[in-house]
Structure 1
Amino acid sequence: MIRDAVQRSRVQLRETFLQTTDETVDSLQREGALIMATAAVSPAVPPSAKNSLREDLTCAICCDLFRDPVMLDCMHHFCRPCISRYWRGTQGPVTCPQCRKVFTCRQFQTNYLVTAMVEKVRATTSQTYIQNLEKQLKETLESHRLRREDYINSLHREKDKMETIKRSGADLQVRVKAEFRALHQILDDEESCMLEQLRREQEDELEKVQRHLEAVKLAVRELEENMKVLQQASASTDHIILTELPQLRPYTQVDAAPEFDINTFSNKYMAPLQYITWRKMFKSLKPGPSPLTFDLDTAHPSVRVSRDKTLAVECDGMTWHSENNKRFLQCVNILAAQGFHTGRHYWEVEVGSKPKWDLGVASEAVDRHSRIKLGPESGYWTLRLRNRNQYSAGTQPWTRLQLGSSPQRLGIFLDCEERRVSFYNADDMSLLYSFANGPRGKVFPFFSPCISGSSQEPQPIKLLHYPPVWLSG
């Protein structure tokens, strides 16, 4: 009866424990992905293994986890208080409650290993432990959910980025093809023009030779007719005494053959046609290099400008200028005389080995009487050099640029419609920096030769002008 009661108690306890475990599992499943969260926390022990371990560590008398477990000689374990109560009142030999083995003396051994295992199982099945585990599961699940959302958002962003790249690439392909079609058209037109000119000159020379050829042929025919008359007259002298020459037809006097100098004819077309055509292309380039000049009315008193207004250099003294609102008074700056508010424009500036300078564009309405920081917020889009090798883009704060070489000539490209200001190394046309959010309204090319402060003679900033556009061939 006791054994049956013990067995029923153990079964009831097992069912209660399993029911509690199932309820916990169901609760966690309603919260989210139990398996994923559990795996993220720690390698979990399968529920069946937990149940089996708890059953092995359950006292057959009290049907609860061992309390101070002891082992009998038959290797069965019981709680020390339980086995003591079980044997209480028994006279003589005692028996094992499970296997009924008889023991003549009441001896048992404390099993410290089982004690440690029981404490571990009790700790891992406590309400606090389960609550902490559930909390960890929820937190880990939430962490995975948030990370998953971040990854999904990142996927969407990357897909949008890919679409943007594709659209931008397609638009740029159209633009590049249009630019090169324009160049091809210029070259095709120039080729057609030159071939037509060659054809006309060839026809003119051939026509001259043809006219002379026809004249010579006519003269030959006339001479042959006269020769025929003379031959007939000569043959008749055997029978008739010739008293006068026969009547001859006047023949055409032929001018000397026109001179044809093959060198003169071919030199024009044996010339460096590519270079000549390259020079001619400047009048058709859009944008072509703008022939800028400095505006003396904007020059700071410490800036000296050449007579042709293409060189600007700093000087120690102050140059007298008439007073006007356009002049820079605090900073060593100067503007170009040409301003732009529509279209695309490009110009080049030679800086040589100057140790410092500022170049770019400035809005028409910039403050010219105060000392301000150069930046888009102040109406300036610039590139600067300091200490001979420290290049920076004119943002606030400054954006340091790492250049492979020091450019001697700078190219500045202004696209008013796209609001873009770009800087190039004019020697190889490598892009140095580009402002994507450029100016609105009218702007002027901006220059600052700066005060170098060195003992060497200051070097000028030079506006570069390209081959004259009036070459037409």
Structure 2
Amino acid sequence: MATAPTATSTKGSLREDLTCAICCDLFREPVMLACMHHFCKTCISRYWRGTQGPVTCPQCRKEFRCRQFQTNYLVSAMVEKVRVTTSDAYIQNLEKQLEETLENHRLRREDHMNNIHRDEDKMDTIKRAGADLQAHIRGEFRALHQILLDEETYMLDHIRREQEEELEKVLRHLESVKAAVRELEENMSVLQQASVATENRVLTEFPQLRPLMLVDVAPEFDVNAFSSKYMAPLQYITWRKMFKSLKPGPSPLTFDVDSAHPSISISRDKTMAVESEHAIPYTENNKRFLQCVNVLAEQGFQSGQHYWEVEVGSKPKWDLGVASKAVDRCSRIKLSPENGYWTLRLRNRNEYSAGTQPWTRLQLRSSPRRLGVFLDCEGRRVSFYDADDMSLLYSFTNGPRGKVYPFFSPCISGSSQKPQPFKLLHYPPVTLSG
């Protein structure tokens, strides 16, 4: 089977066609005789010098009565191109281009390979997170399985869809990176073949390469954000169906009167706290907040999972969350995890923020009138929910160590309207002493 001529053989044949049969070198001022053979002008003139009568072609021996030839500018141009493209300077420059381009492709391929490894690691993380969450959900629903089977199935399907969506994002990026690597490898093969051709001085132009694909930035995956929606008090979400079996059930909190700032009035049953226009007489103790309008719950937690709800109504400003037992109660300090507070805040009626440092502004679809707080002591997680639909508002994933107390600040509204209270919600209603 005949094979296609290589660049080397084609270049060699072209050089032979442009070689003078007299001096055996590339044509210089090539001229064409009537028989269509070409020679250097100087060579044919010297060959015919001293010849009497008709002259002949050095190749085919055809006789000519007159010594005539014509300059062939096309052949002359081809000779110059071959002469230039076989020069040492041209070959060196071409080799340099090939080397630089090949190195660029190597570096880009290495970068893409690193992206592939990162994507594969990310896919493993997503799969592990999905598996852990599925196990968590199954454990939460085990006690209520017979009644809540439909709800469990829905939640598992929902997380699987989200997991598949996250995997699909990474998979699409992975495939695009692999395609880019394949294109780079094809170009590298062409460049390597061209490098071989330069050794024989037969490469006349830079090889044609495939255009390189643009690879999008790898999609981000926040495992904490992915997990937070499901690391919730799932049994409480469906508490109306099986309230007594909830784990955790809602904690029946009461306000700690001894911790309340003098501007906070506590109801007799200790379930309502409201700002007061006048300072309330108080007894001195080391539990009371003296600089900030704060109050804690009587109940503290240092193990297990706990959930409680607070009615905030349409109050224009407030803070709530959890506070470490050892917080400074005599100074005015910023509410932040560094200072022992994990809180959610409202200002100006619709400006919600999480108590990070600096504050993390939240965009909520609506203004919740009841807030749910979920504390997981072992998991060091503090999460906030709109208690009406149990939508997650924010979750601290690096929560407190040691004992903490539910924390509340009704703030000083400074308005002429009657201040609205904080209300601790109990399900079902319980009889409280005091």
TM-score bucket (shorter structure): 0.5 to 0.7
Deviation, structure 1 residue 154: 3.0
- Tell me the alpha carbon deviations over residues 90-143 of structure 1, each in whole angstroms, 9 at most, x when there is no partner: 246766655556562354143375367447734795122213212321331332
Match of 1:72 among 32, 43, 58: 32
Decide whether the 8 Å contact of 1:279 with 1:469 is kept in 2.
no
Matched, 1:308 2:256: no
1:412 corresponds to 2:391: no
Contact 1:361–1:443 (CA under 8 A) maintained in structure 2: yes
Say if 2:307 is the partner of 1:346. Answer: yes
2:424 corresponds, among 459, 463, 467, to: 463
CA distance in 2, matches of 1:54, 1:395: 76
- The structure 2 residue matched to 1:388, chosen from 349, 355, 371, is 349
Structure 1 or 2: larger helix share?
1
Distance 1:72 1:120 in 2: 22
Distance in 2 separating the partners of 1:454 and 1:64: 103
| In 1, Cα distance between equivalents of 2:323 and 2:316 | 22
2:73 is equivalent to residue 110 of structure 1: yes
- Residue matched to 1:140: 105
**Residues 279-358 of structure 1 correspond to what in structure 2 (within 5 A)?**
282=243, 284-358=245-319
Report the counterpart of residue 384 of structure 2 in structure 1: 423
1:445 matched to 2:409? The reply is no
Distance 2:419 2:346 in 1: 15
Amino acid of the structure 2 residue aligned with 1:363 = S
Pairwise CA distance, 1:458: 2.7
How far the C-alpha of 1:287 sits from its partner, in A, is 1.9
State which of 154, 164, 179 in structure 1 corresponds to 2:118. Answer: 154
How far apart are the structure 2 equivalents of 1:141 and 1:304? 72
Quote the Cα distance in structure 2 between the aligned partners of 1:157 and 1:468: 50
**Number of residue pairs matched?**
328
Question: Any conservation in 1 of the 2:26–2:79 contact (CA below 8 Å)?
Answer: no
Counterpart residue identity of residue 323, structure 2? A
Structure with the bigger RCO (C-alpha within 8 Å, sep 6+) is 2
Instruction: Report the counterpart of residue 46 of structure 2 in structure 1.
Output: 88
Change (3 A) 1:97 1:363: farther
The RMSD of aligned alpha carbons is 3.4
Alignment match, 1:129: 94
Q: CA deviation at 1:63?
A: 5.4
Equivalent residue, structure 1, for 2:131: 167
TM-score in terms of structure 2 length: 0.65
Q: C-alpha distance in 1, partners of 2:23/2:278?
A: 109
Q: Alpha carbons of 1:51 and 1:155: their partners in 2 closer, same or farther (altered >3 Å)? A: farther
Unpaired runs of at least 5, structure 1:
1-44, 185-277
SS of equivalent to 1:446: strand
Q: Secondary structure at the match of 1:88?
A: helix
Q: Distance in 2 between matches of 1:449 and 1:383?
A: 12
Q: Distance in 2 between matches of 1:317 and 1:46?
A: 98
CA distance in 2, matches of 1:139, 1:280: 64
Counterpart residue number, 2:394: 433
Per the TM alignment, residue 427 of structure 1 is displaced from its structure 2 partner at its CA by: 0.6
TM-score normalised to structure 1 length: 0.60
Percent of pairs with identical residues? 61
Report the Cα distance in structure 1 between the residues aligned to 2:350 and 2:405, rounded to whole angstroms.
26
Comparing 422-431 with 154-163, greater Cα deviation is found at 154-163
Matched position secondary structure for 1:348:
strand
Do 2:18 and 2:79's aligned partners in 1 also have CA atoms closer than 8 Å? no
Q: 1:440 to 1:87 in 2, by over 3 A?
A: same
- CA separation of 1:105 and 1:379: change in aligned 2, threshold 3 A: same
Gaps of 5+ in 2: 1-5, 149-238
Deviations 1:135-170 (A, max 9, x none): 32133133213422431x135314422540353144
Match of 2:326 in 1: 365
Q: Which moved more, 1:306-315 or 1:96-105?
A: 96-105
Task: Work out the CA distance in 1 between the residues paired with 2:43 and 2:320.
Answer: 101
Residues 311 and 370, structure 2, Cα contact 8 Å, conserved in 1: yes
| Whole-Å separation in 2 of the counterparts to 1:413 and 1:176 | 15
CA distance in 2, matches of 1:350, 1:333: 16
Change (3 A) 1:51 1:436: farther
* Secondary structure at 1:400 match in 2: strand
